[in-house]
Amino acid sequence: MGPTLSQSNRAATSSRRIMLYSHDTFGLGHLRRSRALAAALTEGDPHASAIILTGSPVAGRFTFPERVDHIRLPGVTKLSDGTYISQTLGLNIDDTTSLRAGLIQSAVERYEPDLLIVDKEPTGFRGELLPTLEYLRMRGRTRVVLGLRDVLDEPEVLAAEWARKGAIAAAENLYDEIWVYGVRDVYDPTEGLPLSDETRARMHWTGYLRRQVTDASDTPQTPYILVTPGGGGDGAAMVSLVLSAYEQDPDLKPNAVLIYGPFLSGDVRDALDARVSKLGGRVTAVGFESRIEALFAGAVGVVCMGGYNTFCEVLSFDKPAVILPRTKPRLEQWIRASRAEDLGLVRMLDEFRDGMTTQAMIEAIRALPDQPKPSESGADGLLDGLEVVIKRARALMDKG
pLDDT, position 253: 95
Q: Residue 134: count other Cβ atoms within 10 Å of its Cβ.
A: 13
For residues 237, 243, 245, 248, the Cα torsion angle rounded to the nearest 10 degrees is -120
Domain 224-380 - what CATH class? alpha beta
CATH no. for 7-210+384-399 = 3.40.50.2000
pTM of the model: 0.91
User: How far is residue 361 from each of residues 138, 322, 324, 328, 399, measured CA to CA in Å?
Assistant: 55, 9, 10, 21, 52
pLDDT, position 13: 55
Side chain identity at 43, as an amino acid letter?
A: E
- Residue 23's contacts (CB-CB under 8 Å, 6 or more residues apart) are 30, 55, 119, 120, 121, 124, 125
Q: Are strands 76-78 and 84-86 parallel, antiparallel or unpaired?
A: antiparallel
Residue 177: enclosing H or E segment and its boundaries?
Answer: strand 177-181
Please report, in tens digits, the pLDDT of each residue of the chain (400 residues total).
Answer: 555 554 444 544 568 999 999 876 666 678 889 999 999 999 988 999 999 999 887 777 778 889 999 999 998 877 767 677 887 788 888 999 999 999 999 999 999 999 999 999 999 999 999 999 999 999 999 999 999 999 999 999 999 999 999 999 999 999 999 999 999 999 999 999 999 999 999 999 999 999 987 666 677 889 999 999 877 677 899 999 999 999 999 999 999 999 988 778 889 899 999 999 999 999 999 887 667 888 999 999 999 999 999 999 999 999 999 999 988 888 999 999 999 999 999 999 988 888 889 999 999 999 999 999 999 999 989 999 999 999 999 999 987 5
Contact of 220 with 298, CB cutoff 8 Å = yes
Contact of 310 with 228, CB cutoff 8 Å = yes
pLDDT, position 393: 97
Contact of 215 with 241, CB cutoff 8 Å = no
User: How far is residue 267 from each of residues 237, 270, 272, measured CA to CA in Å?
Assistant: 14, 5, 9
Q: How far apart are CA 84 and CA 76, in angstroms?
A: 6
Q: Is the dihedral of CA 291, 296, 302, 305 positive or negative?
A: positive
Q: Residue 2: count other Cβ atoms within 10 Å of its Cβ.
A: 6
Residue 116: enclosing H or E segment and its boundaries?
Answer: strand 115-119
Do the two domains 7-210+384-399 and 224-380 of this chain adopt the same fold? yes
Q: Which strands form 283-286's sheet, in the order they lie side by side?
A: 283-286, 255-259, 224-228, 301-304, 321-323, 347-348
Helical axes 29-43 vs 385-399, angle rounded to 10°:
70
Q: Residue 204: count other Cβ atoms within 10 Å of its Cβ.
A: 14
What are the residue boundaries of the structural domains of the chain, listed by start? 7-210+384-399, 224-380
- Residue 249's contacts (CB-CB under 8 Å, 6 or more residues apart) are 362
DSSP 8-state code for residue 78: E
Contact of 28 with 58, CB cutoff 8 Å = yes
